[in-house]
């Protein structure tokens, strides 16, 4: 009997799929497993289905019979990919399962920044009808948006932006999307964009991709949206750009350290609209990720794993596209 460790709560349909096969021992943690619980569960594990718990070499090495790590989502920065690669253990992802949810969340943050949603909400609750004359809001139509990372999410975001009548610049990737102007020089593209939206995975090459120098290249009064990973943007540099007014607004679903502290400097700024890494967390997306990650485990144990489900562990450049959970 193969042991499957599910590190955190997943949609019931995914668990039912794992348990329905009948030939597996499923250890599912709800609430998420503690480090002590993980150390106890790993020996004898053939498969680990993981959401966000860090899976380093210290834990993975406790499972000599491990044959698969199945990511509930797409971003694998919480998994020691080098360790898995060295052992020949495939790391699978749920390609496309959460892409629509994240793309819609990105547009939500974009619109919220353009319309100063949190400030408008506060004004309405305070009965400040004079705020109507000082909203500072702008329309998306006719604006230029730069999509950094034309992977699955980035391509959907680009299409949605084109539907709003925006001029769309795409950096990284060459998958055809109608209405997108592809640009190779990131600095040049940043200087043209009213809104910049980030959709690259977190790798050594993309950590700090949007640093002080690149923020300085952005148009004064531009908006930055990040639904990728917090580490893609240099947070101290972001704070400086926001406090100086060079960057008008930040809409972010992600932070360099999560869960984010209530006293995080970014959250003190009224020009920041934040969500708690919920871009992928719709009911539809949660079910799709649970079912797909469970199916990847079962397919691997049965010797029929689809190679296209395996995460590409090759180093990525800063210009390559990607998606995140």
pLDDT in tens, the chain (325 residues): 799 999 999 999 999 999 996 667 999 999 999 999 999 999 999 999 999 999 999 999 999 999 999 999 999 999 999 999 999 999 999 999 999 999 999 999 999 999 999 999 999 999 999 999 999 999 999 999 999 999 999 999 999 999 999 999 999 987 788 899 999 999 999 999 999 999 999 999 999 999 999 999 999 999 999 999 999 999 999 999 999 999 999 999 999 999 999 999 999 999 999 999 999 999 999 999 999 999 999 999 999 999 999 997 543 333 334 333 3
**Active-site entry in 155, 277, 295, 311:** 277
39 is catalytic: no
- Give the Å distances, CA to CA, from 13 to 20, 87, 160, 279, 310: 10, 30, 30, 21, 22
Q: Structure tokens of 288?
A: 């799709």
Closest CA to 254 of 102, 115, 133, 70: 102
Other beta carbons within 10 Å of 276: 12
214 belongs to the catalytic site: no
Q: Other CB atoms closer than 10 Å to residue 110's CB: what's the count?
A: 26
What domains are defined for the chain?
2-97+283-309 (3.40.50.720), 99-274 (3.40.50.720)
Query: Which listed residue (3, 105, 155, 229) is catalytic?
Result: 229
**Residue 311 is a catalytic residue:** no
pLDDT for the residue numbered 26: 96
Quickly count: other Cβ atoms within 10 Å of residue 320's Cβ: 19
- Which residue out of 258, 261, 268, 284 is catalytically annotated? 258
Is the bond preceding 31 in cis, omega lying within 30 degrees of 0?
yes
Structure tokens at 52: 């966000």
Which residues partner with 45 through β-bridges?
Answer: 3
Q: Which two tokens stand for residue 242?
A: 């926001």
Half-sphere exposure of 52 (CA within 13 A, CB side): 14
* Nearest alpha-carbon partner for 252 in 311, 193, 217, 210: 210
């Amino acid at each position: 009997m193969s042991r499957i460790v599910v590190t955190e709560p997943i949609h019931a349909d995914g668990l039912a799929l794992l348990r329905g096969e009948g030939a597996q021992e499923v250890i599912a943690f709800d609430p998420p497993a503690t480090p002590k619980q993980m150390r106890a569960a790993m020996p004898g594990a053939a498969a680990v289905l993981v959401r966000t718990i860090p899976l380093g070499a210290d834990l993975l090495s406790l499972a000599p019979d491990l044959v698969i790590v199945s990511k509930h989502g797409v971003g694998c920065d919480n998994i020691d990919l080098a360790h898995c690669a060295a052992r020949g253990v495939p790391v699978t992802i749920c390609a496309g399962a959460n892409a629509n949810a994240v793309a819609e969340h990105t547009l939500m943050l974009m619109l919220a920044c353009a319309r100063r949603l949190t400030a408008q909400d506060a004004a309405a609750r305070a009965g400040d009808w004079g705020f109507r004359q000082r909203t500072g809001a702008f329309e998306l139509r006719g604006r230029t948006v730069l999509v950094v990372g034309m992977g699955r999410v980035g391509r959907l975001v680009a299409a949605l932006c084109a539907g709003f009548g925006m001029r769309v610049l795409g950096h990284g990737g060459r998958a055809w999307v109608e209405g997108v102007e592809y640009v190779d020089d990131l600095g040049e593209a940043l200087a043209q964009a009213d809104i910049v939206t980030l959709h690259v995975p977190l790798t050594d090459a993309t950590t700090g991709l949007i640093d002080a120098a690149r923020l300085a290249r952005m148009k004064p009064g531009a908006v930055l949206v990040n639904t990728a990973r917090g580490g893609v943007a240099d947070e101290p540099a972001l704070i400086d750009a926001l406090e100086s007014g060079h960057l008008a607004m930040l809409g972010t679903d992600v932070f360099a350290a999560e869960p984010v502290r209530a006293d995080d400097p970014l959250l003190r700024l009224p020009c920041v609209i934040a969500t708690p890494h919920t871009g992928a967390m719709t009911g539809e997306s949660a079910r799709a990720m649970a079912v797909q990650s469970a199916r990847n485990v079962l397919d691997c144990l049965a010797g029929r794993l689809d190679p296209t489900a395996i995460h590409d562990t090759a180093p990525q450049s800063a210009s390559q596209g990607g998606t995140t959970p």
